[in-house]
Amino acid sequence: MMREILVATTNEGKVREIRAVMKDLPIAWTFLADLPSVPAPVEDADTFEANAILKARYYAKQYDKIVLADDSGLEVDALDGAPGVQSARYSDEGTDAANNLKLIAELKGIPQASRSARFVCCLALVQGDDVLLTSMGTIEGQIIDDPRGTNGFGYDPHFYVPQQGMTTAEMPPAQKNALSHRGQALASIKRGLAQLWPA
Ligand code: ITT
């Protein structure tokens, strides 16, 4: 019997990355877009991990499935960690374009050397109310004013990774997944699943 995991995200960028990393596991992956829609939960916790667990529990209950949820975002040091857990709804409009415009406006006048930032991703695998696995990943970079690259999603065109000499939007998908916050968090969940459900 093939086990099934529902990936509880409506973010298509996340879906593409999670699908690519997890496709080789002997697990039937389902995504929210495959199911009749339900209202989204209110993500009102103040940490990525608590929001990932809250989101996973909510959808696990709605669909009676084992659920993997992702809560992630951008922490900018010069903005005291903002947008942080508010990353998806940083601007009033809440689109990637509007969020990026607000980010660059907030950083106006701040020199490049003081624009350090990181992406954070927390994942939670939940069955009913039980948390089976959690993981976290981060990637360090800096925020640049002029967008570069068309891969990825969200804040990627403004997130420059000095070691790679490119933004996460310039990286081919496999390179981003090898290095990114989400790629690392997913690798950890993969190892956890191998222990939890040995072949
Ligand atoms: P779900 O809750 O349905 O998963 P969401 O987009 O609302 O989708 P979050 O609340 O976790 O998800 O918000 C994540 C925010 O952080 C969102 O604005 C993304 O654009 C941004 N973000 C997360 N990972 C990113 C990445 O790899 N590259 C660029 N931006 C990212």
- CATH for 53: 3.90.950.10
CA 192 to chain centre: 18
Average pLDDT of span 87-93: 98
Centroid of ligand 1 to alpha carbon of 199 (angstroms): 32
| Residue 183 near ligand 1, beta carbon < 6 Å | no
Q: Mean pLDDT over all residues of the chain? A: 98
Amino acid at 72: S
What's the one-letter identity of residue 173?
P
Per DSSP, 105 falls in state H
Q: For residue 107, what pLDDT band results from cuts at 50, 70 and 90?
A: very high
Residue 1, pLDDT above cutoff 90: no
- Residues of the chain above pLDDT 70, percent: 100
* Annotated catalytic residue 71: yes
What's the gap in Å between 98 CA and the centre of ligand 1? 14
Q: What is the pLDDT of residues 2-49, one digit of tens each?
A: 999 999 999 999 999 999 999 999 999 999 999 999 999 999 999 999
170 lines ligand 1 (CB under 6 A): no
- Rounded CA gap, 94 and 86, in Å? 10
Domain that holds residue 40: 3-196
pLDDT at position 90: 98
Number of domains in the chain: 1
- Does residue 155's CB lie within 6 angstroms of at least one atom of ligand 1? yes
- Quote the pLDDT of residue 26: 95
